[in-house]
Amino acid sequence: MDDIPIPIPRQRTSFMARVREFMRARHLAYRTEETYCFWIKDFIRFHRMRRPEALTAAEVDAWLGSLANRRSVSINTQKTALNAVVFLYKQFLGIEIGELQFDKTSKGRRLPVVFTHEEALVVLGQLEGHHKLAASLMYGSGLRVMEAVRLRVQDVDFGHHCLFVREAKGEKWRRTLLPKSLLQPLEAQIELALALHKRDLDEGFGEVYLPHALAKKYPSAARSPGWQYVFPAAERAVDPRSGVVRRHHIGEQQVRRSVGRALASAGIRKKASCHTFRHSFATNLLAAGTDIRNIQELLGHNDVNTTMIYTHVIGAHERGAVSPLDMG
């Protein structure tokens, strides 16, 4: 249940408690909240617990520079840290920190590892049950592992052969493909999930976690079939944050471990993971001639430049180039 926000103390006297409350009022994703809080605390500790209001752009530059020079973080990690501290000053404190001139990390972005279609099918063939179905959605629909395990019954549109991804990274909704080959397995999985839900209701339970304030706005929604997880956990559990007994979704780590074992069994020696299925979804669509803008929308990328990295992954040979040794 590590994707359920921790409760904020009623007496919000600490600085970070007030920061968290501010973030939740603006409906930041919980993972974004956790990430930003991590970097804000790192920034404060770096300057020996001095109050951020007393620090200037020079101190921000020193911290960001240390991430590049001493800790050798990647470009994306340094950008995330920058976003966190800019949010702290501009949004929370209402302070303009001015122009920053920090040392940028030289650890460049690497090309993502991808499967061939045959490799993806071999790995999927090593999986079973709902882990196989979740991984199939990563490859067939371009879902992240967290998006797959958080999928709700109402997010599956069988009539239009599409999925609605509502609890995505950055709280951005999108619509993506639902492979025809997964229609029957998904219908069976949803029937299983709803049968489990009915049993929970009969035993006096059946409530599911709802994001933000939806539980207060729609009191009966937490027990409705549409809000139930497609991949419910095997057992009910006490939510340590609220004390409510609920059935959560299966854990991301369970799926990751299963995929790791499947990779070993399949003899795939690439540095692959669950996210490789999502990368492979994009590269295979691109190789098949799908427009890059369509792929951007299916993946939920803000900037098409993020999606453009896949044009480098598909390989020159797939764009008609032939090695001189293979000519003639």
| Residue 51 buriedness (CB in 10 A; 0-12 / 13-18 / 19+) | exposed
227 Cα distance to chain centroid: 19
- 293 annotated active-site: no
Of the residues 12, 79, 174, 275, which is catalytic?
Answer: 275
pLDDT at 27: 75
Query: Would you give the DSSP letter of residue 103?
Result: P
Look at the pTM and tell me if it is higher than 0.85: no
Of the residues 132, 248, 278, 279, which is catalytic?
Answer: 278
**Spatial separation of the C-alpha atoms in residues 237 and 248, rounded to whole Å:** 8
Is the Cα torsion angle 132, 135, 137, 141 positive or negative in sign? negative
Alpha helical stretches, state H, the chain: 15-25, 30-46, 57-69, 75-86, 117-125, 129-141, 145-149, 183-202, 214-217, 252-266, 274-287, 292-299, 304-313
- 310 annotated active-site: yes
| Residue 96 buriedness (CB in 10 A; 0-12 / 13-18 / 19+) | exposed
Is the Cα torsion angle 268, 271, 275, 278 positive or negative in sign? negative
Nearest to 193 by CA among 227, 244, 231: 231
Residue 135 · residue 179 · CB < 8 Å: no
Q: Which two tokens stand for residue 239?
A: 């939510």
Of the residues 169, 174, 223, 236, which is catalytic?
Answer: 169
**Spatial separation of the C-alpha atoms in residues 308 and 290, rounded to whole Å:** 13
Angle 299-80-134 (CA atoms, 0-180°, nearest 5)?
35
**Spatial separation of the C-alpha atoms in residues 123 and 183, rounded to whole Å:** 20
pLDDT at 107: 63
Of the residues 89, 209, 229, 310, which is catalytic?
Answer: 310
Kindly give, in sequence order, each residue whose CB lies less than 8 Å from that of residue 92, ignoring residues fewer than 6 positions away: 19, 22
Of the residues 130, 131, 144, 246, which is catalytic?
Answer: 144
3-state helix, strand, coil in the chain (%, to 5): 55, 5, 40
pLDDT at 3: 59
- 275 annotated active-site: yes
Residue 163 · residue 141 · CB < 8 Å: yes
Of the residues 172, 301, 312, 317, which is catalytic?
Answer: 301
Give me the tens of pLDDT residue by residue for the chain, a chain 328 residues long: 555 666 666 666 789 989 998 988 887 777 888 999 999 999 999 999 999 999 999 999 999 999 988 898 888 899 999 999 999 999 999 999 888 999 888 766 678 899 999 999 999 999 999 999 999 999 999 999 999 999 999 999 999 999 999 866 666 789 999 999 999 999 999 999 999 999 999 999 999 988 766 777 888 888 999 999 999 999 998 876 677 899 999 999 999 999 999 999 999 999 999 999 999 999 999 988 899 999 999 999 988 988 988 888 876 546 666 667 677 6
pLDDT at 216: 77
pLDDT at 276: 96
- 248 annotated active-site: no
| Residue 274 buriedness (CB in 10 A; 0-12 / 13-18 / 19+) | buried
- 45 annotated active-site: no
**Spatial separation of the C-alpha atoms in residues 201 and 167, rounded to whole Å:** 25
Nearest to 314 by CA among 295, 296, 288, 294: 288
Is the Cα torsion angle 196, 197, 200, 201 positive or negative in sign? negative
**Spatial separation of the C-alpha atoms in residues 60 and 43, rounded to whole Å:** 8
CB atoms within 10 A of CB 305: 9
